[in-house]
Amino acid sequence: MTSKKMAMATLAIWTAAGAVLAHNGATGVVRERMEGMVAMRDALRDVTPMMRGEAPYDVARVVEAGRAIAAHAGSEMTRLFPEGSGGGVSYAKEAIWQERETFDALADELRRHAEGLAKAASNGLTAPDPHAGMAMGGSMAGHEGMMMPDAAPAQAGPGSAFSVAQLLGVEPRRRAERKVLAAASAESAGATGPDYATLAAPEVFRRIGEACAACHGRFRAGS
C-alpha cells in the first residue's frame, strides 16, 4: 500500500471517529462509547506518520497504540451498545441490534488486529525475512533497516478486499464487506488467523483501518 493510499484510508477512520466530538449532550453509555472511539482515533493518529515513513519509527509507541485500541474493542466495545441505546445524539444504526452477531464479530476482529499490532510492532515497516540467516547455519538474523510503506508486501487477510475508494465510501462495497464479515466470523469461530508476529506493522495497521471501515459502513449512520 502506498503512502498516499494509507493516508486516504486512515483519513476515513479519523473522519468517522472524529464525528463523535460533535455529539454535544451525550450522556451515560452513549457518551462512554463516544469517548472510546475518540481514544482509538487518537491512538491511530499518533502512529500514522510512522506507518507512512514521515516520522521516526518508535516500537514502544506502536505497542502502546495497539494496546489502547484493543482496550476499547471486542467485548469492551460491544458492552457499550445495550439494547435501546440508539437514537438521540447517537449515530448507531438499529442494524447493530438486528445483526448483533455480526457487530460482535467485527468488534472482536478489531481487538485481534489491535493486539496483533502490538505483536508486530518490533518488525517495523517491513516483515521479517523467514530465510534470513540461513547461510549462517540456519540461524535467524535480525533484519536491518526498514523499507518504506510503498514497498511493504501486501498480505491477504480479513478486510484486504477493500479498495481505497470502498474504504472512503465512494463506491459500493457490499461484496467486499461480505468477505470481511465472513473472515471475522471465521476467526471468531476459532479458525486460524494471521500470525501477526510475521507481519509488518503497516500491514496490521491497514487491517485495523479496514475493520473500522467495515463496521462504520454497516452500523454507523452517516457513514
Spatial CA neighbour of 168 closest among 115, 111, 214, 110: 214
CA-to-CA distance for 103 and 71, rounded, in angstroms?
17
Domains of the chain by residue range: 3-22+29-127+150-219
Closest among 221, 151, 170, 179 to 11, alpha carbons compared? 170
* pLDDT given at position 23: 47
Give the three-state DSSP class for 176.
Answer: helix
Q: Which residues of 86-110 are buried (b: 16+ CB within 10 A; e: fewer)?
A: beeebbbbeebbebeebbbbbbbbb
**Cα 80–chain centre separation:** 19
pLDDT for residue 169: 41
pLDDT tens digit sequence for 96-142? 999 999 999 999 999 999 999 999 999 999 988 765 554 444 433 33
The CATH topology of domain 3-22+29-127+150-219 is: Four Helix Bundle (Hemerythrin (Met), subunit A) (1.20.120)
C-alpha cell at 176: 467486499
pLDDT tens digits, residue range 44-54? Answer: 999 999 999 99
Q: Is the pLDDT of residue 4 over 70?
A: no
Asked whether the predicted pLDDT for residue 200 surpasses 70, the reply is yes
Task: Share the mean pLDDT of the chain.
Answer: 75
Question: How far is Cα 77 from Cα 215, in angstroms, rounded to an integer?
Answer: 12
pLDDT digits (tens, 9 = 90+) for 160-169: 333 434 433 4
pTM above 0.85, yes or no: no
Q: CA 95, 81, 190: angle at the middle one, nearest 5? A: 80
Q: Which of 122, 127, 11, 152 is nearest to 57 (CA)?
A: 122
Chain segment 142-153, per-residue pLDDT in tens: 333 333 333 333
What residue has cell string 538474523?
A: 141
Looking up cell 451515560 gives 28
Q: Is the pLDDT of residue 72 over 60?
A: yes
